[in-house]
Amino acid sequence: MSFTVAILGRPNVGKSTLFNRLVGRRLALVHDRPGVTRDRREGEAALGDLTFRVIDTPGLEEAPQESLQGRMRRQTEAAVAESDLVLFMIDARAGVTPMDEAFAELVRASGKKASVIANKAEGRTAEGGVLEAYALGFGEPIPLSAEHALGLPDLYDVIAEAAEAARQEQDQAAPGDAADKPLHLAVIGRPNVGKSTLVNRLIGEERVLTGPEAGITRDAIAVDWTWRGRPFRLVDTAGLRRKARIVDQVEQLSVGDALRAVRFAEVAILVMDATQALEKQDLQIADLVAEEGRALVLALNKWDLVTDRAARLKELEEALEETLVQVRGLPLVPISAQTGLGLDRLMEAVLAVYETWNRRIATAKLNDWLAEMVERHPPPAVAGRRIRVKYISQTKTRPPTFYLSCSQPKALPDAYRRYLVNGLRETFGLYGVPIRLMLRRERNPYAERKGSGR
């Protein structure tokens, strides 16, 4: 999906400087004289791991339609129409001018998603202009210095969030296209727990070799398969043993193949032998999947051989609740790959956890939740100064990833971070998937000035 960002604002606020910064070279002319840019210019931009199309626009001015300035304004309006996100730029040192307010109305009338950039915010004199920018109605302003590359992490967050929202809207607009893409599903586990038998039972044929001997599967075998009209790419993998037990070079290659299958999967089914005790290796494999950011379902195989099923299920649930806290609430599905018991429930759990892995939560809901969490249990004080938690936003899915802005991110205790992650999981139903909570410092573009004694 291509994503387009348009930069606009009145003349000489720094639009072309930001454009050049994003495209990584001096494509647009930059000069102190206002109105140097007359045509809209496009380029391929990169910011962190984001790539997108960016449009530099002429400065917005009030002028008759047929004048040069009027024709330049039409170029800007065309850029807005093409864009997915508008970066409305003001000069923070000058504050919000009547011209800024007039053209902000133009952006609002377009219906496009927009954020306000308070440029030239590297000096203390810009502080008032940043605060005034709230009145434009585009949410929290981003203090930025395009010339000195200050504030780019905050700009990254805004563009990443808008790009992900646009992608999801596109998927919802064409649900058939998303459903046509195969869901990549890896079947993993220790040797001889029934992975290949499960794959054969799911697809309805003896596609992969099975037997009582451990380690029969060596290559990661991918099979295209459809379940209830939904395409899957099913990957059977070699059994994963502890590193200390792997001495054969072929087995080392097989394990490497299995690990690659996990990295390319969207959901992993971890097959465990229900007749055996929960082993440390099972937990390490589950932890590996979580570290890779994949969704996970646990399949308790050989359930037909278990006698006291209720007691066994309760025992395993309690053990997993204590040990796999990073993916708490994992779907735990009893199955028998030999008889076909529970396989429909297993696939329903796969689709449910895949939906959770792709879930996006509105920023307003997140910040309402955050306010309640902080009120219930405020962050601790460090060296006599209480940590201020400002806001939270979701920057990506697959897995759900959130950025938390606070005054002292390095001082925030791990226990409080777990408190927030557990709250996210319970409030928004993010069970069975890893949650990434990234901390960032509340940006203050004037800190360097204050530290210099000026």
pLDDT, averaged across the chain: 80
Q: For residue 24, what is the enclosing H or E element?
A: none
Other C-beta atoms closer than 10 Å to the C-beta of 26 total 12
DSSP 3-state of 90? strand
Task: Collect all residues with Cβ–Cβ distance below 8 Å to 228 and sequence separation of at least 6.
Answer: 347
Which residue carries 């792709």 as its tokens? Answer: 358
Quickly list DSSP for 332-346. EEE-BTTTTBTHHHH
Q: Is the pLDDT of residue 222 over 60?
A: yes
pLDDT in tens, 333-356: 999 999 999 999 999 999 999 999
Percent above pLDDT 70 for the chain: 79
Confidence at residue 35, expressed as pLDDT on a 0 to 100 scale: 42
Closest C-alpha among 426, 186, 434, 199 to residue 295: 434
Q: Is the pLDDT of residue 67 over 80?
A: no
d(CA 158, CA 163): 9
Q: For residue 20, what is the enclosing H or E element?
A: helix 15-23
Tokens of 254: 């097989």
Domains and CATH numbers, the chain: 4-175 (3.40.50.300), 181-357 (3.40.50.300), 363-449 (3.30.300.20)
pLDDT (mean) for 295-316: 93
Q: Is the pLDDT of residue 368 over 80?
A: yes
Query: Poorest-confidence range of 55-64, 182-191, 294-303?
Result: 55-64
d(CA 159, CA 162): 5
Asked whether the beta carbons of 407 and 422 are under 8 A apart, the reply is no
Query: Poorest-confidence range of 105-109, 119-123, 258-262?
Result: 258-262
pLDDT in tens, 390-399: 888 888 888 9
Query: Poorest-confidence range of 17-26, 58-67, 311-320?
Result: 58-67
d(CA 67, CA 60): 13
Angle between helical axes of 280-291 and 249-264 (0-180°, round to 10): 50
Confidence at residue 278, expressed as pLDDT on a 0 to 100 scale: 82
pLDDT in tens, 125-175: 888 888 899 888 888 899 999 888 899 989 998 998 888 887 766 655 444
